[in-house]
Amino acid sequence: MTRPRARESGLSFGIMPTGKRNSISDIPGVKVGHCSIISGSGALIPGKGPVRTGVTAVLPHGDDLFERPVKGAYFDLNGCGGLLGSLQIDEFGIIETPIMLTNTMSIGAVADALVRHMMRSNRSAGVSGDTIIPIVSECDDSFLNDSRGLHVKEEHVSYALNKASEEVGEGSVGGGTGMTCCDFKGGIGTSSRTFETSSGTYTVGSLVMANHGIREDLMIKGVPVGRLLETQNPRRVEQGSIVMVVGTDAPLDARQLLRMAKRGGMGLALTGSCSNNGSGDIVLAFSTANQHDRFKVDGLVREELMLDGDLSPIFRATVDATEESIVNSLFKAGTMDGRDGNVSPGLPIEETLELLKTHKQLT
């Protein structure tokens, strides 16, 4: 049975219009690929299974990112998580590889596979003086998955990269396969907004890998759904994490993208999270405008930048799209069992919609 997205169920978030797909891929050139790895059941046998994991690739554009990096920034809302490549983003304000999302203990394997993938099309990397710094982030899926098995391999990374498209899967797919959000099944969610400013019409897109929170925290459109639902979900030992990726085709520099990234945390807060002590809450932001030319050797770099006075619509779009992405991750993910009988139940959509209707939050 196919589960609906939040908007397909009558929910709306904010007043800005969405893009055509209501997806991060509404930003021209952006593509997303997933590889899901699911096998086995029953008791955990470390190194063998059960396996409930995967990898997701976010490509800011379809050309060579090593040759034409995009402007980038990140915001560490709570640092109990990993982001490989963060120092280079800080120093130079660029992202030069696809953004990869996976489970915590596979972050190294994914980074290695991503470097190998990039080297195949960049023969000068590591020879000419420039090396590849992979961008990889993670959440802990060990509640459902055999994390010690290190099941994400190079072929899975290659599959996600090669299958990237404008059609973005949600829920229990890719890096989100084994994730749990607010004690319900979570995973991947996406959304977008379009808006006009004095400098042009632009798109903001969001994609999340949601693995954070407890049931009592969950808020949808201001309604404390988690506390009102008549359910007692299994609770994980870990407090979970979330990685939020926000992008735009608006011409922003790294400083402005950092400001944009911070608003992702506000979208997270609207779903009830307080960013728990043990949670890795990370926001990555990029702009596809003013792409850097790695091999430019002469002259000054001249770029058009949006005025700070025009940024408010981008901030609003980031908040609304991130909030909707998190809710979409819950709506699209069905119940999944994992190791040792652990279960992440799917959010009960009918009961949730009835609660929202009672509180006059269903259109």
**Residues belonging to the active site:** 241, 279, 281
Identity of the residue numbered 4: P
Cβ–Cβ contacts within 10 Å for residue 298, how many?
A: 4
226: number of CA atoms within 13 Å, CB side?
A: 22
Distance between CA atoms of residues 73 and 246, nearest Å? 10
Alpha carbon distance 105, 3 (integer Å) = 30
Query: Alpha-carbon distance 74 to 289, whole Å?
Result: 17
Burial of 319 (0-12, 13-18, 19+ CB in 10 A): buried
Distance CA 97, CA 117 (A): 10
